[in-house]
Structures are given as C-alpha cells and as structure tokens.
A and B are shown apart, each in its own frame.
Chain A
Amino acid sequence: MTAVIDKPVEPVKSVRQPGRWAAPPRPTWEEEPSRAGLAGKGLVLTLACLGILFPLWIVLVTSLSSRKTIDQAGGLVMVPKGITFVAYKELLSGGQVTRAAVISVLITVVGTAFSMTVSVLCAYGLSRIGSLGHRWILMLLLATMFFSAGLIPTYLLVQSLGLTDSYLALILPSALSVFNILVLRGFFMGIPQELVDSARIDGASDFRILWQVVMPLSRAVLAVITLFYAVGYWSAWFNASLYLNDQDMMPLQNVMIQLVQKQEAPVGLGQAIKTGELSGLAVQMAVMVMALLPVAVLSPFVQRHFKKGMLTGAVKG
C-alpha cells in the first residue's frame, strides 16, 4: 500500500493492519475531510438507520417479553428483561395463525416458481434481436406499463373466470411484472452471443441453451427477480380480501390486519389472553415478526446484486 500523504510522515506508532472496516486510500487531489463534516455525515446516517431499526427492535423485543414485563413497561418494551417464546409457541401450535403462515408460504413458493418460469421463458424468447415478432411482443408488454384496465373490470373478469374462492386468483392476475421481464431480458441480451452460437452448433435446443448456458450465467439477476416476485406474493393481501370469502383460507397478511389493526384476538387464543397467561400485545408483535422475518433474513443476501439487476433494467430495443 503506498498511500501518498502530503503531511510530513510521522513515525508509525502502531502497525495496524487495514481492517475490513478501514477506508481505502483517498486520491491525492481530494481534500482531507473535516472532522465536523465527518461527524455530521455519520450522525445523519446513524439517525436514518436507527429510524428504521428502532421500531423493528421494539416489535421484536415486545414479542419476546412476558406479560409481566409488558405490564411493567406500560405497553411496548424497549429494554428486554428475560426472553420468553410463549407467544410464538401459542401461535405456532396449530390454529389460525399457523394455518395462515403455511398458506402464505405455499402461495409464495408456488407463485414465485410459476412467475419465474413464465418470465424467464418470455425474457429468453425476446432476447434475440431480429427474431420474428419480437418487436410486436415487446410493444404488447411495454404498453401495459402505460395503462391499467382498472379495478372493477379486472374484478369482474376474475370473477367470471370462476377464480373466486380459489388460490389461483391470488397468483394468476398478478403473476407477471413486465418490468421484471425486461430486466431479465436486458441481462440475457448481455450474454456473449458466441456462447449461445457454439452451444447451438453442438446441437443444443433453445430450451437446453437457456437451461445450461444462459441461466447459469445469470444467477445474480435471477436471484434479484426471484426475491422481487417472492416478496410480492408474501406481501400481498388485497387480492385475497377481494377474491376469497372463506376466512379459513386467508394468508398471513390478511390475518395480521385482523389481529393488529382491528385488535382482534387470534381464534382460539382469546381465552388465554383474557385469563392473563398470554399478553395480547406480545401476540400481535409475534405475528408482525413472523411476517417480517423471512424478508429481513433473505433480502440482505441478494443486496449486492440489486444495482446490477436494476441497471440492466434499462429498456433496450
């Protein structure tokens, strides 16, 4: 490392290996940052991050608190005093919330697999410049970004297709995002044509080229788009409220609306909450943690690919 320093070189007091948190050397023309500037930037950034983490911390801690701790704090708990998993145990021992969580997981897995299959196939089918009709199909897709048919006509259509009270109504109408298809297509188009051609000369079909050449080279963007679709299915509640009538079929988000927003007790746990074994507040928080945990755990792993994924989203003709 040959960092150029324009101050007189002081004798090295302690030999510190540049840690993983250390700053890389600055270019010579750049001024040394002032202490006040650094402090100000650090403060703003810390506040922004705390503004996001603090509410989540409270939710997590309260969900892990006993009824006694919650009563002592007069509601939400900021500092944990003893951890108990009683709220989670009750919620996950069968009953309304367990069922809703299983339903949400299944819809997310099946829906994401379906959306990814259709989107990847379509993106590959449109990725060859000059193929027959690709411009027309592209226009067909792009135009949907400019208009929406409207809530009522869509509702009437789904209803007349006989999809009400079926989980298909939660998957099919919102299965595709044109934006995601375009991002995938942009990425596929960036794969060197020579690779595709040589596979073709070796006799590979389009399906095989997609599976064995194109997809292995596109892991980053595939991860990002899978996350986008999965989060979409996991977070969805509106279609369920629109097309499902049976309360037992509702996914987790809809159950969360009932429990947290409308402050209802989960079916079967009302007695336990009234008699004082279980805190209603801890139950609410536990449901919220169940809804946020999968997303919070998975999204940071995909984070480093976000920029790449978004950048290739630029529409190429």
Chain B
Amino acid sequence: MTAVLPSRRLLLKAAGISCTAALLPLSACATSSPAQQKGVTQLRFMQNKPEVVAYFNQVIKDFEALNPDIHVVQDFNEGNFVPSLVRNDPPDVVTRGFAQATADFTRKGVFADLSDLPSAATIDPKVQALVNSWGQYKGETSAIPFSLAGAGVIYNRDIFAQNGVAVPTTWDEFLAACEIFGAAGITPIYGTFKDTWTLQQGAFDYVTGGTVDVEDFFARLYAEGADIREDAPESFSSNFGPALPKILQLTAFTQTGASSKNYADGNAAFGRGQAAMYLQGPWALSELVKANKNIQLGTFPLPATNNPADTKARVNVDMALSITRNTPNRAAAERFVNYLLEPSVVNTFNEKNAAFSPLMNAPAVGNPQISGLAAYVAEGRYYQGAGTYFPPSVPLGNYIQSFVYNRNAGQFLRDLDAEWRRVAERTAV
C-alpha cells in the first residue's frame, strides 16, 4: 500500500512540470519570425474589402512576376489594423475607407508621406482633396485614393418605365414619383431600418448632403471644439432643422414593417422587384444582381431641394492607399503602391466594382448601374456623407433610428448636440 504513494507524488510532480512546460511555447513564439527567403522582401498588404480578395490576388501575382524580389502577402481583415498598431507591427501597405475613423490615424502620424510618389501626380486633385479634407499630418499626403464610391438612389428601371416615371430632378418630382408608385400599389422605397447604418447612409446622409453644406458645417463645428452650445450658430440644432422633416417624408414612403427588415432582407426583396427605389450605395448592386440576374438597375442622386443645381451625389473614398510610417520596406512598398495606381490596375478595379477611378484621365463610366452619377462625379458635384464626419464613439445610427421611429426632431437635435459636446470634451483634453 505504501509503495503506491511515491508514485502518486511523482505523478503530481509530473503534472505540475508539464503545466509549466506548456507555458514555454507561449513565450517562445513571440520571438520567432517567419523564415524569409534570401533577397526577397516580404510586404504585408492589408486591404479593407473582403469581397475583392480574388482581384488583388491576381494583381499581386502580376506584380510579383514583374518584381521577383518582392513577395506580397494579402490580408483582408481590417479589424487587425488597430491591434497591429498597438503591437507596433503594422502592415506595410494599407487600404482604408477614408472617414473620421481613419482621420485619427492620419493626425497621429501613422502613415508615411506619399506626395513624392510619381503616381501621386496622376490623381484627380478633387479626389485627393476629399482624402486631405479629413486632416493632414504636417501637410503631408498620407493616403492616395484608389476607389471612389458614388451613392444615390438605386432604382428599378423596369418599374420606372412601366409606370411612366422619369428620373426626378427636384424634390417635388421625387415626391410625385413616390405618390405614383404608391397609387399603383408598388412600394416606392424599400426600407431596412433594423440595420441602423442603412438609415444613416441613406435617408440621413442623402437629405442632409443635399440641403446642408456638410463639409463647411463640420469644419466650423470641429473648430468650435467642446464649447458648443445648442443655440450656437455652429450647432446641429441651428443647421439640421430644415432637413429633418424631409427625412421623415422619405421614410414614410417605405413599406410597412420596414423596422424589422435588415440589409440582407432589403437586397433580396428589392432584387425580386418588390419596390421601385432603394437608398443604397454601389456595394449593394452586386447583391441585387445576385438576387435577380435580369434586374435592370440605375442610380440617381437624390434631389433634396427644388433647385436641380443643388443636387449632389454622395461619395466616399472607399479605398485609399497608405504606407505605414515605420515600415522597414519603404522602397518595396512604394513600388507596390505605384503599380496599384497604374491605370490598367486602378481603372479595371473600379470598372469591375461599380466605382469611380480617382485618376485624372479616367475613362468615361459605361456601367448603366452607376452612369446616372457619372456627370456629378466628373464635375465634382458631390459631398461626403454627414454620418462619416462623426467620431465612431457617437452611436449616430441609433439616434437616427430613434428619430425615424419617434418623429421627435427637437429631441434628436438636442441629443446630437449633447453627445457631440461630451465627446469633444473628453477627446480634447
């Protein structure tokens, strides 16, 4: 009996030691680095659109054939970017959508200056200005636009033709078109209010972008800092009031039960022809075609006033190329960025993805799905959505959803002003 005891103790000891041993690999893997082939520079390329992985795989293959000394690894999980910054090990080349969230990286000097790149000179200055409008680090060019997405009202060309409705050019014409569809028993606009972002990028951004000078408004608001009062001339209360009833007019033309439909529901329903119009950007087009390959789609910018000259398209820099400042592979990264901005690469990409090329000499857009926006984009008659100017810590989509459900404009404006002031207070200190 007693002979068993030492062996048990041994067992316990062994268990303890194996536990400690299990810890060792954890510390060991932190120091090991991927084996590198001699003479080949490895670039990490993080792009922000999981749906275009295949395109970039092809681009990388072509690039590597021309540049055998560089090996590019594609990563499409944008969520890794902030953690990689925290670890101080960011990817070498990054694409990001440019808005408030990215502006903060720029202002903190995360990206290198690209103004000397030869490809930087081929970019349309109007589009470059969109990127720069989010703030610059010591006047540098932190990102070069790669893809410009134009958004408006997606419409079903067949339903428009069957009801004899032309593309509206004024707010009254737009309302009249909605009435015609409603009288014909067709849902004028398909609403997906369950996903708050669809309300934000659709009804909210389109109406405010068409009635308020969004860029100027936010420039003055940011300049004001935390000392913003509700009755100040820079506040939301003083500027957004006239736009809000139009948002409610618009959302009143959606189907009953819009509040329990999400983006995926909307794509399926609109694809099946259950509504005449859909307030979505070009990213929805491929989904709609997936739902119904025979659907004839077009896009027009929402006319938010009765003066057609006021009508503008909503654009966003969907992808902009940056090189991280601390990369040890700066030269290789620059060669890769220059390659990506060659007309054959950048124009093909935008043609395939229903977007607009940022190059000065970009060919005319022939895609009928977005051709209704082409003239506006070419003339620079566009705005970046008001929603994109908000710091991500403001739950704007939820506030808009509340407003659409409760129809309380005063409360909505007071909430926005108060939330803005609180965020400004704590981020300015």
Question: Are A and B co-members of a single complex?
Answer: no
